Amino acid sequence: MADSSGLIASEIGIPTADREIPGYRAMPDEPGPFPMVLVIQEIFGVNEHIKDVCRRLAKLGYLAIAPELYVRQGDVSKLENVQEIMKLVSQVPDAQVVSDLDAAFEWGANQSSGDSSRLGMIGFCWGGRIAWLYAAHNAKLKAAAAWYGRLVGQSMPLQPKHPIDIVDSLKVPVLGLYGGKDKSISVDTVERMREALQSAGNASEIVIYPDAGHAFFADYRPSFHKASAEDGWRRMLAWFKRWGLA
């Protein structure tokens, strides 16, 4: 786990269209501006793992910002089981999330420490799906990384589209990192996405780790797969460098 030495790391408030939402930021304790990375949570919210990811990025020279994206629907830290959390998260509209991410970007861009010309994004699980969707929304992104984000699904009023539906609309390249043993995101859907990207001539890339399951980057959970997580992190950093985020 990354500590806060040499960093400025704290809770923040992010003004949005209808209210201020909480978040977490970490950055080097030195003059900026720094390239910015929006860090998108798993279903478990901006927990200590997501904060740790922010600090890890900050130690590499980034301003990392993790907004709480379903605070309007409730506090997942107070819920006792995954089923209750999933029920709450299913009530979060994609449009709300995209708007809040725009606000988080604006918050960072308005800080002297944030370089608005160098914006990236990473998302995990629930946030991995969002990373794909946001890459079709904000052309100011340089690049994104989606860690095991769901790619296909039924159209619902609050979640009308999924990544497979927006391939032709992607504005920035996305690195998709998936587990070959993932029981919730089947390899065949990942391959469908890969084929759709190739057919569209999109610069996005997908990597499948054959020995990893779902949530293989989450080092606080039994699903953690060290070799795949470390390789994915290296690939993600190289991806950011490739697209001008280093």
The answer to whether 54 is a known catalytic residue is: no
Longest dimension (CA), the chain: 46
Options 165, 214, 219, 231, the catalytic residue: 214
Rounded Cα distance between 184 and 86, Å, is 14
CB contact at 8 A, 177 and 147: yes
Helix ranges restricted to H, the chain: 48-58, 82-89, 94-109, 126-135, 187-199, 226-242
Options 49, 54, 162, 182, the catalytic residue: 182
End-to-end CA gap in the chain: 22
Sign of CA dihedral 53, 59, 65, 67: positive
Strands 34-40 and 114-124: parallel
Rounded Cα distance between 203 and 15, Å, is 33
Options 125, 137, 162, 225, the catalytic residue: 125
The answer to whether 49 is a known catalytic residue is: no
Active-site amino acid positions: 125, 182, 214
